[in-house]
Amino acid sequence: MRFASFAYRHRRRVAVVEADGTLFPVPGVASLTDLIRETDGLAGLLAAGAAALDVPPGPHVSQVRLLPPLQPSSVRDFVTFEEHVEGVRRSVSGEAGVPDQWYVAPTFYFTSPHAIYGPQDDVPMPPGSSVLDFELEVAAVIGRDGRDLTPETARDHIIGYTIFNDWSARDLQSAEMRVGLGPCKGKDTASTLGPYLVTADELEPYRDAEGFLRLALTAEVNGEKVGSDLLSNMSWTFEEMTAYASRGTRIVAGDVLGSGTCGNGGCLAELWGRRGEQVPPPLKPGDTVTLTVEGLGSLTNRVVPGTAPVELPRGRRRGRERP
């Protein structure tokens, strides 16, 4: 099934999306995140969706404003594509190759769950940035709480998938990471999810013998294709990523786990690193980015001007006074 969150006639609703775009609202539900928590797993969510199909249909998807499918409890963004690491590392830090440590475990960082945009939302330039980039990813959505999972048990905790655009201010990111932490403001002003949450069972036909989802990925800027890849080029499966995320801690219903950016033009910085120049150029106000993932749909956003940064003083060089 496909679930959408939408606004229509000043109300927020959750609905099952039929193949022709007809929406069947889930009675009494305004938050897909809450519904996921209440149903506790894929079977419960599918049952709620099936019940919605027994009531009269609502509007067509073309008549509503689609919202982010859910408001995540947290967002962990992994980096699981070698090709992306090679290109972006060269672009951001000037270093070549993939660090040996990268192969040890599926590394991730936490990004802001409070800066989530939906399909067709305008995305503002981050304050103080002039080098904005998109990142083409797929995100797994957690449907049940758990901790210290194995990859085998983790599969029962993934309720579905959606497209994830991890917008990145490359100039801010490059400066911040010289400190040895981050990314911080280079990453946390916008992430886009959508257009729908596609339940995990829908994607099983795409699973290969190693457990990877073989989905075609395409990125376009202003209608021109700049990148394409296969999701199955990940170096870890979503189940392995989920198990790692739960190690020594909890994952909870509503958590989002990003695949990391695909290769072969899954973002502009990878291309810049390979080409030695900023071609195509960084995103600017007026540019439109469309990300398409087989089985999940398409996600389009337009870049608009942002606000100026509030200026702060430089850090003070302090003495070493002691109590």
Q: Work out the number of other CB atoms within 10 angstroms of the CB of residue 158.
A: 22
Assigned domain for 99 exists: yes
> Would you say residue 183 has pLDDT above 90?
no
Do 109 and 24 share a structural domain?
Answer: no
> Average pLDDT over the chain, rounded to whole?
95
**Burial of 40 (C-beta count, 10 Å sphere; 0-12/13-18/19+):** middle
The residue ranking higher by pLDDT, 87 or 106, is: 106
Domain that holds residue 43: 2-67
Among candidate residues 67, 101, 117, the one where a domain is terminated: 67
Do 94 and 56 share a structural domain?
Answer: no
**Mean pLDDT, rounded, for 184-202:** 96
Q: What is the DSSP string of 241-289?
A: HHHHHTTTSEE-TT-EEE----TTTSSHHHHHHHHTS--SPPB-TT-EE
> Would you say residue 177 has pLDDT above 90?
no
Task: Kindly report, residue by residue over 221-258, the tens digit of the pLDDT.
Answer: 999 999 999 999 999 999 999 999 999 999 999 999 99
The angle, 0 to 180 degrees and rounded to 10, between the axes of the packed helices 82-92 and 268-275 is 70
Beta bridge partners of 24: 16
Do 252 and 170 share a structural domain?
Answer: yes
Do 82 and 43 share a structural domain?
Answer: no
Do 196 and 120 share a structural domain?
Answer: yes
> Residue 131's pLDDT is what?
97
Do 222 and 93 share a structural domain?
Answer: yes
> Residue 228's pLDDT is what?
98
> Would you say residue 35 has pLDDT above 80?
yes
Do 196 and 82 share a structural domain?
Answer: yes
Phi, psi of 119 (to 5 degrees): -60, 135
Do 150 and 60 share a structural domain?
Answer: no
CA atoms in the 13 A half-sphere facing the CB of 104: 5
Do 246 and 189 share a structural domain?
Answer: yes
Assigned domain for 100 exists: yes
Do 260 and 124 share a structural domain?
Answer: yes
> Would you say residue 33 has pLDDT above 80?
yes
Assigned domain for 287 exists: yes
Do 85 and 134 share a structural domain?
Answer: yes
CATH of the domain at 98: 3.90.850.10
Among candidate residues 24, 41, 67, the one where a domain is terminated: 67
Strands 122-124 and 297-304, bridge-based pairing: parallel
Assigned domain for 149 exists: yes
Distance CA 256, CA 236 (A): 16
Q: Give Cβ neighbours of residue 260 (< 8 Å, ≥ 6 apart).
A: 77, 78, 79, 80, 81, 84, 108, 137, 234
Assigned domain for 36 exists: yes
The length of the chain in residues reads: 323
Among candidate residues 17, 50, 67, the one where a domain is terminated: 67
> Residue 91's pLDDT is what?
76
> Would you say residue 95 has pLDDT above 80?
no
Q: Which two tokens stand for residue 4?
A: 């959408």
pTM for this predicted structure? 0.96
Distance CA 80, CA 263 (A): 10
Assigned domain for 156 exists: yes
Instruction: Report helix, strand or coil for 171.
Output: helix
Do 136 and 30 share a structural domain?
Answer: no
Assigned domain for 316 exists: no
Number of structural domains, the chain?
2
Q: Name the pLDDT band for 320 (thresholds 50, 70, 90).
A: confident
Distance CA 232, CA 203 (A): 12
Q: Which two tokens stand for residue 211?
A: 């457990």
Region for 40 from its dihedrals, namely left if φ exceeds 0, alpha if ψ lies in -120 to 50, beta otherwise: left
> Would you say residue 93 has pLDDT above 80?
no
Residue 154 per-residue DSSP state:
H
Distance CA 118, CA 164 (A): 10
**Mean pLDDT, rounded, for 95-119:** 94
**Mean pLDDT, rounded, for 149-153:** 98
Assigned domain for 315 exists: no
